[in-house]
Chain A
Amino acid sequence: EIVLTQSPGTLSLSPGERATLSCRASQSVSSSYLAWYQQKPGQAPRLLIYGASSRATGIPDRFSGSGSGTDFTLTISRLEPEDFAVYYCQQYGSSQYTFGQGTKLEIK
């Protein structure tokens, strides 16, 4: 089973700043099979990025994804107040899905 490790666990930033979230896999992941989600308290997750770098429908262009192999990154270029949430990466392989443990993005 591929394990995804997200860092940092918590990221404290201010609106307008740039956020960089990391997702590292225990073995190589196909870029086509790496996704990112945002979850706010009491809500279901929302798909942000699929295929490592493609934005889902309706996602603002301040969100971008990059990476390959075992290292992937979600970048939020200029934080808006509504961006403070928990972010998860997810991979698919061998007919199984796994999620990272999440990064909490909080207001500094």
Chain B
Amino acid sequence: EVQLVESGGGLVKPGGSLRLSCAASGFTFSSYSMNWVRQAPGKGLEWVSSISSSSSYIYYADSVKGRFTISRDNAKNSLYLQMNSLRAEDTAVYYCARRSGYPAFDIWGQGTMVTVSS
């Protein structure tokens, strides 16, 4: 079964750091670009970051540039998001998502909740 499972969410104080992980299974992880998408409580979807299959191309939304770092380990079938200098507005469910052949996200994880609060 094709699956993505996020972990690492939790409660963190403003200015703190958190590292999210996404474990992939059921497909050849190293062949796909991967993404992080977030959703603040009661709000819509916001793309956060993307990384190409070999990590050669990495992009960020302006809202997280300079604070978040995306990475992957193809040997471990895992995607990561290092989040530093966290703000209250970073509070959201964070999803990892696989990009299909088209620029669309065909597989999503169940999400992990990040709460930034003092």
Q: Chain A residues near B100: list those with CB within 8 A.
A: 47, 50
Whether B61 lies near A96 (C-beta < 8 A) is: yes
How far in angstroms is the closest Cβ of chain B from A70? 18
Whether B102 lies near A88 (C-beta < 8 A) is: no
Q: Chain B residues near A90: list those with CB within 8 A.
A: 45, 47, 104-105
The size class of the interface chain B forms with chain A is 20 to 34
0 or 1 for each of B9-23: is its CB under 8 Å from A? (1 = yes): 000000000000000
- Which segment, of B24-32, B73-81, B84-92, B108-116, faces chain A? B108-116
Q: Is A92 an interface residue (CB 8 A)?
A: yes
0 or 1 for each of A31-57: is its CB under 8 Å from B? (1 = yes): 011010101000011110011001011
Q: Chain B residues near A97: list those with CB within 8 A.
A: 35, 47, 50, 103
How far in angstroms is the closest Cβ of chain B from A37? 8
Give CA–CA (A35, B45) in the complex, Å.
13
How far in angstroms is the closest Cβ of chain A from B6? 10
The size class of the interface chain A forms with chain B is 20 to 34
Whether B95 lies near A44 (C-beta < 8 A) is: yes
Q: Is A67 an interface residue (CB 8 A)?
A: no
Q: Chain A residues near B106: list those with CB within 8 A.
A: 47, 50, 56-57
Q: Could you write out 6 A-B pairs with CB less than 8 Å apart?
A: A46-B108, A51-B104, A57-B106, A90-B105, A97-B50, A99-B47
- Other than the given A90-B47, A100-B44, A101-B44, 6 more pairs (CB < 8 A) read A33-B103, A35-B105, A45-B108, A51-B104, A90-B45, A96-B61
